[in-house]
Structure 1
Amino acid sequence: MPHPVGQLVDIGGVSVLSSDIEEFVARFDASMAAQQPMKVAFLNANLFNFTRSDPFVLHILREFTVLNDGVGLNLASAILKGAVFPANMNGTDLIPAVLSMTTHRLRIFLVGSRPSSVQRASEVIAAMWPRHTIVGCQDGYYEQAEEDEIVERIKSSNPDLVLVGLGNPRQEVWIAKHIPYACPRGFAVGGLFDFVSGAVPRAPAVLRALSLEWLFRLLYEPLRLWRRYLLGIPVFIARVTGEALGRATRWGKRIWP
């Protein structure tokens, strides 16, 4: 039984919006029409673990529209609430849907990934959705001392939306700090630019349908992702189960992240 669309679901202290693509695009368009700020994050097992190890991450997510990402969130929702989410709202699928379905012409700035990936992603997005305008891009490999200058450059380009692909929780912290000053709307998009640019392949459709994209990513990039998945997922399950049983999972907090 899925949660009703539009309902907020408490997952370990994070309010997650139960939504589908059509409902979210309507929300996004409403924020554009009303000229209201919007911060969007995607709660997956990895980000959930960071909310447990860093209270600041949990705190800033209160300012975000938080969507569910991955089979782990459905499992957590089933354990904690007895219901699942109506759709998997991962950013890799949602952002293209927003660009296709929105009624607005968007000015977009990209932040994150390697220089070649973010540049190529900006070119692909411009070609696939020509009614939108890419007003700039910035890779994620900059020094902290450069950030203020980068933020001013973003602001001067007058974007409607910044897509931030810096990884958890750096991208969420970036958005909390700089939105809406640099731009009215910011989405934390993880590895989107690597997928769009072709630098990293997506899992075959059958694995995505079975919610096994995480396994494909682990097999493709084992040295980078083994800790996130082989340690992080069991810790996430233990924390969710511990919460359901009403007790803390101290062993998980020591391991991750």
Structure 2
Amino acid sequence: MIDAGKRNVLGVLVNVVDYESAASQVLAAARERRPFTLTALAVHGVMTGVQDPAHAARLNAFDVATPDGQPVRWALNLLYKAGLGDRVYGPALTWRILEECAREGLPVYLYGSTEATLERLSTELAGKLPALQITGREPSKFRLAEPGEPEVIAARIRDSGAQVVLVGLGCPRQEQFAYAMRGLLDMPLLAVGAAFDYHAGTLRLPPPWMQRYSLEWLWRLALEPRRLWRRYVLLNPAYLARLTAQLTRLSRPEPPAGATERLIEFPV
């Protein structure tokens, strides 16, 4: 089990952590019924923080930010000799946590995506993890929270009996949601990105060799070119340029000081 704390990647703090440690921290918080936030950061996630210091401060306030993408793992290894042999991929970590929730009887709440995807995801999980308790599911409303709505959503989640919340709103919306809701819920909130779509079967996983050589972006771009081209064509080169500058000490990016205030307006 590896957990060497957080390290600065372009001003965003990413944990030097493996699957076992990340999952164990989530499950401990679920058993103990205490607030906890986790996100899995690929290049896009890191660059959202680079482009928005207020969002970087939110990301840095998360309990755990895993190196979801291979380039983020490489950054930790190159900058800090972290020795990580693998990334901590959001969909794979989600599955590990769900398997343990099924074994331990820890109820789960699904928040985000569409009703059609949640229906399909629930069916897939029921077939593969029949012991898993899904005590509630709620699709995204694709708008900002209205006054008083966060408390209503939190009450629904608490009343369901859930001990883990999976948030699938996409980056950076899911991190904004988890950050804002953390103070209202005594359970882990996991920003899991495309895990809903992958485990529902609505989005195909790339071949293992593409994942190993950091070509998942190319796979995703081929599947959703109109939606994702800006993310990969513009952000990937910018990430590499900034990482090179940090490696060569031409740039010394500093994490924003302190966490931001609780978000009043955030996506639901």
Q: Structure 2-normalised TM-score?
A: 0.83
Kindly provide the amino acid, as one letter, of the partner of residue 12 in structure 1: L
CA drift of 1:145 comes to: 4.3
2:2 counterpart residue number: 5
Partner of residue 197 from structure 1, selected from 192, 197, 200: 200
Q: Identical aligned pairs, as a percentage? A: 30
**Contact between 2:30 and 2:106, CA under 8 Å: does it hold in 1?**
no
CA drift of 1:84 comes to: 4.4
Distance (Å, rounded) in 1 between the aligned partners of 2:183 and 2:126: 24
Partner of residue 57 from structure 1, selected from 55, 60, 81: 55
CA drift of 1:160 comes to: 0.6
2:129 counterpart residue number: 129
| Cα 1:200/1:29, change in 2 over 3 Å | closer
Distance (Å, rounded) in 1 between the aligned partners of 2:119 and 2:98: 18
Partner of residue 26 from structure 2, selected from 25, 28, 40: 28
2:159 counterpart residue number: 156
CA drift of 1:181 comes to: 1.4
More divergent stretch after superposition (51-60 vs 124-133): 124-133
For structure 2, which runs of at least 5 residues remain unmatched after alignment? Answer: 253-268
Distance (Å, rounded) in 2 between the aligned partners of 1:39 and 1:88: 19
CA drift of 1:141 comes to: 3.4
Kindly provide the amino acid, as one letter, of the partner of residue 129 in structure 1: L
Distance (Å, rounded) in 2 between the aligned partners of 1:55 and 1:61: 10
Pairing 1:94–2:107 present: no
CA drift of 1:180 comes to: 4.5
**Contact between 1:8 and 1:15, CA under 8 Å: does it hold in 2?**
no
Distance (Å, rounded) in 2 between the aligned partners of 1:231 and 1:84: 29
**Contact between 2:31 and 2:163, CA under 8 Å: does it hold in 1?**
no
2:84 counterpart residue number: 85
| Number of matched pairs | 247
1:213-232 map, 5 Å = 213-232=216-235
Distance (Å, rounded) in 2 between the aligned partners of 1:117 and 1:29: 25
**Contact between 2:16 and 2:76, CA under 8 Å: does it hold in 1?**
no
**Contact between 1:195 and 1:202, CA under 8 Å: does it hold in 2?**
yes
Q: 1:62-95: per-residue Cα shift (whole Å, max 9, x none)? A: 3321110112102322442244423210111111
| Cα 1:63/1:243, change in 2 over 3 Å | same
Corresponding residue SS for 1:18: strand
Kindly provide the amino acid, as one letter, of the partner of residue 208 in structure 2: A
Kindly provide the amino acid, as one letter, of the partner of residue 118 in structure 1: L
Partner of residue 242 from structure 2, selected from 196, 214, 239: 239
CA drift of 1:207 comes to: 2.1
2:70 counterpart residue number: 71
Pairing 1:167–2:165 present: no
Partner of residue 206 from structure 1, selected from 204, 209, 221: 209
CA drift of 1:108 comes to: 1.0
Kindly provide the amino acid, as one letter, of the partner of residue 123 in structure 1: T
Q: CA RMSD in A?
A: 2.3
Distance (Å, rounded) in 2 between the aligned partners of 1:205 and 1:75: 18
**Contact between 1:111 and 1:165, CA under 8 Å: does it hold in 2?**
yes
Corresponding residue SS for 1:144: coil
Corresponding residue SS for 2:166: strand
Distance (Å, rounded) in 2 between the aligned partners of 1:183 and 1:195: 27
